[in-house]
Amino acid sequence: MFLTISTTGAPEHPATDLGHLLHKHPDNAQAFSTSYGTAHVLYPEASAERCTAALLLEVDAVALVRRGKGKGRGGAPDAALAQYVNDRPYAASSLLAVALSSVFSSAMKGVCRTRPELPGRPLPLRIEVPALPARGGADLVRALFEPLGWTVDAEPVPLDTAFPDWGDSRYVRLVLEGEQRIADALRHLYVLLPVLDDAKHYWVSSDEVDKLLRAGEGWLPDHPEQKLITSRYLSRRWSLTRQAMERLELVRLAETDDSAVEEIDNAVEEVEEVEEVEEAEGAERTGTDDGRTDAAEEPVPLAVRRREAIVAVLRDAGAARVLDLGCGQGQLVQALLKDVRFTEIVGVDVSMRALAVASRRLKLDRMGERQAGRVRLVQGSLAYTDKRLKGYDAAVLSEVVEHLDLPRLPALEYAVFGAARPRTVIVTTPNVEYNVRWGTLPAGHVRHSDHRFEWTREEFGNWAGTVAGRHGYGVEFVPVGPDDPEVGPPTQMAVFTLGTGTGTDTGTSATTTTARNTKEEKAA
């Protein structure tokens, strides 16, 4: 909510020219009413040698929250999203950028009626932003401003000095120095403040997003981080549309528990656009969410291989009516739709957001009747038995079991193998032994933040053997992905078939697999 712009001068070029450039007289304190509060411009110093203009935006936090209750534009869509405890009154956020553009609109356009020659002249500028929210940290701040000719000093602000182990906050104290035209400096700030802002929910309306893009003319196209800047705009625009489908019920449940909604509404990756890239990199891992993409490691994404393996097993099993239990964003459903032998495909997920994304991905609302008749997406939970799931040829649990706490796994086992009892059940799950082969995965880390566990081949084998024996299924194991001689494949798959083995038989087959694995390990 606060920044200063300083310049230095000499008697022939007095620093106080800044007042002409900004169209604000250095000897007055002026107030401007903006959509989000009152903006004040004043000059703590104004001499020929040195002149500093300060912009202070008094954000009305109460109005910000209450605005959301009405239908007015630019408001948060629901009171539940808006917090009275909010950094908006203090941090140099997108709100400050909006205030900047309205208070200094002429300066930003490079217009100065009284001294037309001034705007075209670069000045030695020093800009201080004491609390800049910077998603991506000081490094990103430098990466954004340095290519524009600024000398950047970005110092992280600690979260709370009383609790040093909490580390740094997302704010930096930013000082920019450089010879710049004032209009360019303002437009840099106007575009990059929101880019760095880490707001969860946006108060800026979509036409302002377009304005931000226009402000990038002249410098944005050649900026080395142009892709990131643009992608953050796009994700911002996506967030604007997303507000409409925000799961407010989950927001409230998170608040009940004093936790952030991201902690529980995390069934769908936040950054949808980069998903394909993430898949290429190994779909499990949480992508770096600043939009920067790492180089692909594998030619064929593992997720694609997994789907191919699943579809192959389903074809072999002659399954026509298939359940995708834990369908997520519907990638497997999409793959199954391409083969007409799958006459009925039911995607089940407990996350309504996942189902909404899946429905969008499949374009269910525009799908032809014949094809749409083959597919259904329903909310369900494998913690409960479900009569709707009875009587199917096959059920797929692809990368699902590891998202359950172990004590709750027996309920899933019963719901699938005891109650639904499809003829074929396919379960895939990460092989934790393979994790050492993921270069970018720190040792001891699971592949996805929501993985409650990851199994070795032996652990998976034992589990599958026990489940199969208990419920009258036979089980076979199929590697997915490159089968590393030492640590096995990245994904392990178990194919359960009803009535092909007694308890003892499946026990043996599990043991056999384990034995084979052990042998391979020894050989390696």
Footprint of other proteins on residues 257-276 (CB under 8 A)?
257-260, 263-264, 267
Using the contact rule CB under 8 A, the part of the chain among 81-89, 117-125, 225-233, 509-517 near other proteins is 81-89
Least distance (Å) between residue 232 CB and other proteins = 19
Least distance (Å) between residue 134 CB and other proteins = 11
Instruction: Count CB-CB contacts under 10 A for residue 505.
Output: 15
Least distance (Å) between residue 346 CB and other proteins = 14
Strand pairing class (2-8; 50-59): antiparallel
Strand pairing class (321-325; 344-349): parallel
Instruction: Pick the closer one to other proteins by CB: 44 or 485.
Output: 44
Give me the sheet containing 375-379, strands edge to edge. 375-379, 344-349, 321-325, 394-398, 424-430, 491-498, 473-480
Footprint of other proteins on residues 441-460 (CB under 8 A)?
444, 452-453
User: Does residue 133 interact with other proteins by CB under 8 A?
Assistant: yes
Instruction: Pick the closer one to other proteins by CB: 16 or 307.
Output: 16
User: Does residue 368 interact with other proteins by CB under 8 A?
Assistant: no
User: Does residue 96 interact with other proteins by CB under 8 A?
Assistant: no
Structure tokens at 322: 């298939």
Return the residue of 23, 50, 403, 445 that touches other proteins, per CB under 8 A.
403
Return the residue of 48, 248, 317, 498 that touches other proteins, per CB under 8 A.
248
Binding mask 151-190 for other proteins (x = CB under 8 A): ------xxxx-xx-xx--xxx-x-----------------
User: Does residue 380 interact with other proteins by CB under 8 A?
Assistant: yes
Structure tokens at 213: 């893009």
Instruction: Pick the closer one to other proteins by CB: 135 or 285.
Output: 135
CB 196, CB 135: distance < 8 Å: yes
3-state secondary structure of 180: strand
Give the position of tokens 């769908």.
Answer: 268
Return the residue of 268, 304, 352, 441 that touches other proteins, per CB under 8 A.
352
CB 485, CB 524: distance < 8 Å: yes
Instruction: Pick the closer one to other proteins by CB: 222 or 405.
Output: 405
Return the residue of 106, 205, 293, 385 that touches other proteins, per CB under 8 A.
385
Return the residue of 209, 367, 411, 441 that touches other proteins, per CB under 8 A.
411
Instruction: Pick the closer one to other proteins by CB: 83 or 239.
Output: 83
Please give the Cα distance from 248 to 66 (Å, whole number).
17
Strand pairing class (168-180; 50-59): unpaired
Q: What is the largest CA-CA distance in the chain?
A: 97
User: Does residue 390 interact with other proteins by CB under 8 A?
Assistant: no
Using the contact rule CB under 8 A, the part of the chain among 203-211, 290-298, 308-316, 414-422 near other proteins is 414-422
CB 78, CB 246: distance < 8 Å: yes
Return the residue of 113, 338, 387, 522 that touches other proteins, per CB under 8 A.
387
Least distance (Å) between residue 318 CB and other proteins = 27
Distances 28 to 23, 53, 108, 128, 224 between C-alpha atoms, Å: 11, 11, 21, 21, 40
Please give the Cα distance from 231 to 229 (Å, whole number).
6
Q: Give which of 468, 140, 440 is closest to 292, Cα–Cα.
A: 140
